[in-house]
Amino acid sequence: MTTHTFFATTPKGMADLLAAEILGLGGSDLRENRAGVEFSGELEVAYRVCLWSRVANRVLLPLAKFAAPSPEALYASVRAIDWQAHLDSAQTLAVDANVASSNMTHSQYVALKTKDAIVDSFTDQGLPRPSVDIHRPDLRINCYVHRNQAEIYLDLSGASLHQRNYRSGTGQAPLKENLAAAILMRARWQEVAAEGGAFVDLMCGSGTLVIEAALMAADIAPALQRDYFGFLGWRGHQPAIWQRLLAEAHYRREQGLAQLPPLMGFDSNRHVLQLAKDNASSAGIGQHVEFAYQDVFNLRHDFPATGLMVTNPPYGKRLNQLEQLQPLYKALGHVLRHQFTNWRAAIFVEDQQLGKYVGIKASRLHTLYNGALACKIIHFNITADQFFKDARLPRPLNPDEISDSGLGFRNRLTKNVKQISKWAKRETVHAYRVYDQDLPDYAAAIDLYWSANNSEERWVNIQEYQAPRTIDPQKSQFRLRELVTITKAFFDLDDDHLFFRTRTRQRGDAQYERFDGAAKFHEILEGSVKLLVNFEDYLDTGLFLDHRPIRQRIAREAAGKDFLNLFAYTGTATVHAAKGGAASTTSVDMSRTYLDWAQRNLQKNGFFGSRHSLVQENCLTWLERQKGGQYDLIFLDPPSFSNSKRMQEAFDIQRDHEALIQAALKLLRKNGTLYFSTNLRKFKLDTRLSQTATVTNISAETIPFDFKRRQNIHHTFKIQASNSSKSAS
């Protein structure tokens, strides 16, 4: 058998789904791009893709590739192809053309020249000219010209494969069948169906999602109802192979229909419900699915214990429509929370902001295109711990409520991001501050984090500074709502990628208290180091962004040294030291939570074993028990204040730092270095330290570019033991 190269097209955002399908259907040497998937295989593989792919548009067989800088060059090269090997003169043909970045700019003209070249190749041999049939030709040819290079394809599908041939009618703005299938794949319907879970669409319209779900669950080839393919009139067609594949598909259909789970569709429009029933009958599954009249505002039904609910609610492009749709999404959320507990759900929306009205935390987010519209699939796990108990984010404002001051904040944010993002890209920084109380009325810090595993995924963490009591609470709340609304829109975020906290002075164990309990960690990069951050559970994310330069300095100096990290927190400095080649690392902190986090950070970067010690103990008492001269490099970053129950007495950095630093210095070997840092803004270093150590104030060197607006974010000192008297600089 002959191996061919084929190209299957698919809508934007579905190439990975198509590649998985083709691989499962026997394709090899797969190469994805935005338009589809190139693959290799025998002709049978292409037939299988035409019959079984749920997301493909077309399957193309390349015939020729050549330079086409002019209509004449195109005509000559197309005419030179042996068209009689593909088409009989008594048959019909059609030509589709696409042109981009070429001397020839009109696709219809390119299609006409291609058609003329094909039919003229027949008259060259004294044969009749094939006729043109643009609707259902025996052979459909695709000509694609890009940068004056032409590619000629034979369209084996003939017509777009999204046309399953079961639709007798549709409602308003129906989903294409392959888009519906892609939504179901993203929602992992095959997994749910394999486990016997049910399927429900609460706003089913003409039934496309329900029908596609049934075809998947019953293992029915999506193109089994079609009676037209481009290869059927092709002279290279192999009918025996095709008939065998059809027989196999019919057998699998019979087996699959015998074990279908419950499938249900509901709608408040009786007309489209009748269309859904007619379409299901045309698809041969009318007796296996249930369609019923129900209004989502008053839905009552007995549903199975587990399953998947997927729906495509109405879109709202204009503000007044969005306002009208909010009650619908709230009602949808109410139904999910009260009648679909322990189910999964996915909602396909044009404006993901509507998703927050469902009142359930999103578990995942995908982008798919409905025509030119970039839409979102919002996924939910419908369990009680995912329900919003309180509004995590301040209630957003409508665009027309934004004040002139709010526009000023947006302009400042735009300016900051433009400037800082250039620096971040140049320095390969993936987590950085984009705003820090630049404007007095908008007292907050805004940090941007990029995922290490998905170049398009990002999170924003907003930390509001607690307003003074002299500020009008209503005015303060309005400014806060403006800040959150503008930030969310500026970065185009859903609620699950935007986080908000109010910073107040922490007492005792407050820094260790959990806010949410979600325990969701996200991986980011800091240079070549992988670090885990958590936006949900604690006041801090697990990564102090302003300490980035000191961590980088530690990495540069750590090679071959024994490193000690006191008040280690999540061990980010320890990981940098290990990455820099430290002979050993010791991290001391009294929080088991943060030491476990530090261990995960180390393991993420491949550091295991006894060389990297994690000690859960109060640093002050631990220091008292240590012998001198154990470490070459120490990082000391204590809290400003602590009265934790795990400490014998309250700790105050301004009062106690000299004794703490002296205790740490005793652990340094000869020529060792201790870096001491504190974020107490009004901190003053005890001058007694200069009598026994060389002290250099390196604060200015350790303030990163993204914190330049807040030069007193921390104070950092380089301290080395010395026998001579030095003065602090």
CATH number at residue 363: 3.40.50.150
* Closest C-alpha to 177, from 328, 70, 283, 81: 283
Mean pLDDT of 582-586: 97
pLDDT at position 647 over 80: no
pLDDT band (50, 70, 90) for residue 475: confident
From residue 137, give the alpha-carbon distance in Å to each of 56, 233, 234.
20, 8, 10
| Alpha carbon distances (Å) from 116 to 87, 122, 137, 182, 235 | 14, 10, 16, 38, 20
The CA distance from 195 to 17, in Å, is 21
Is 488 within a domain?
yes
Same domain membership, residue 185 and residue 148: no
Q: Is residue 223 part of a domain?
A: no
Is 170 domain-assigned? no
Residue 405 resides in a domain: yes
Confidence label for 588 from pLDDT (cuts 50, 70 and 90): very high
CATH number at residue 495: 3.30.750.80
Least confident among 99-113, 276-290, 470-484, 503-517: 503-517
Residues 197 and 317 in one domain: yes
Is the per-residue pLDDT at 136 higher than 90? Answer: yes
pLDDT per residue as tens digits for the range 208-260: 999 999 999 999 999 999 999 999 999 999 999 999 999 999 999 999 999 99
Rg (CA), the chain: 33
Q: Is the pTM of this model over 0.75?
A: no
Identify the pLDDT of residue 729: 42
Comparing 168-172, 347-351, 675-679, the range with the smallest average pLDDT is 168-172
The pLDDT value given to residue 321: 56
Same domain, 564 and 643: yes
Q: Is 505 a residue whose pLDDT tops 60?
A: no
Last residue in a domain, options 361, 386, 411: 386
User: Residue 356 carries which side chain, given as an amino acid letter?
Assistant: K
Question: What is the C-alpha to C-alpha distance for residues 18 and 664, in angstroms, rounded to an integer?
Answer: 60
Least confident among 195-204, 281-290, 390-399, 652-661: 390-399
Give the separation between CA 51 and CA 45, rounded to whole angstroms.
Answer: 10
At 382, is the secondary structure helix, strand, or coil? coil
Task: Give the count of domains, the chain.
Answer: 4
Band the pLDDT of 107: cuts 50, 70, 90.
Answer: very high
> Picking from 21-30, 332-341, 568-577, which range would have the lowest pLDDT averaged per residue?
332-341
For 304, 341, 342, 380, 387, the CA distances from 384, given in Å and listed in that order, are 18, 8, 8, 11, 5
Domain span at residue 260 reads 177-214+256-386
The residue-averaged pLDDT of 161-170 equals: 87
Whole-number Å distance between alpha carbons of 109 and 466: 66
Give domain status of residue 445, yes or no: yes
Same domain, 650 and 709: yes
Sign of CA dihedral 396, 399, 404, 408: positive
Identify the domain boundary among 332, 361, 386: 386
Q: In what order do the strands lie in the sheet with 36-41?
A: 28-33, 36-41, 4-9, 58-67, 149-155, 139-146, 92-100, 131-132
How far, in Å, CA of 439 to CA of 403, rounded? 14
Diameter of the chain measured on Cα atoms: 107
Give CA–CA dist 637/616, Å, rounded: 16
31 and 130 housed in the same domain: yes
Q: How confident is the model at residue 509 (pLDDT cuts 50, 70, 90)?
A: very low
pLDDT at 309: 98
Average pLDDT over residues 63-91: 96
pLDDT of residue 607: 96
**Whether residue 279 has pLDDT greater than 70:** yes
pLDDT at residue number 465 = 81
Q: Where are the alpha helices (DSSP H) in 580-667?
A: 592-604, 619-624, 653-665
The percentage of the chain sitting over the pLDDT mark of 90, rounded to a whole number, equals: 73
Q: Is the pLDDT confidence value at 508 over 70?
A: no
Same domain, yes or no: 568 and 677: yes
Q: Which residue has the higher pLDDT, 517 or 483?
A: 483
Write the CATH number for 106: 3.30.2130.30
Amino acid at 557: E
Domain contains 134 = yes
Please name which of 551, 547, 564, 560 lies closest in space to residue 665, comparing C-alpha atoms.
Answer: 564
Q: pLDDT band for position 418 (50/70/90)? A: very high
Q: What is the structure's pLDDT at 516?
A: 39
Give 593-641 pLDDT, tens digit per residue: 899 999 999 999 999 999 999 999 999 999 999 988 899 999 999 988 7
Domain boundary among 504, 526, 546: 504
Q: Identify whether residues 462 and 559 lie together within a single domain.
A: no
The answer on 495 and 605 residing in a single domain is no
Phi, psi (deg, nearest 5) at residue 440: -55, -35
Non-local (6+) Cβ contacts of 160 within 8 A are: 57, 58
Asked whether residue 334 is assigned to any structural domain, the reply reads yes
| Opening angle at CA 599, ends 595 and 605, nearest 5 | 145
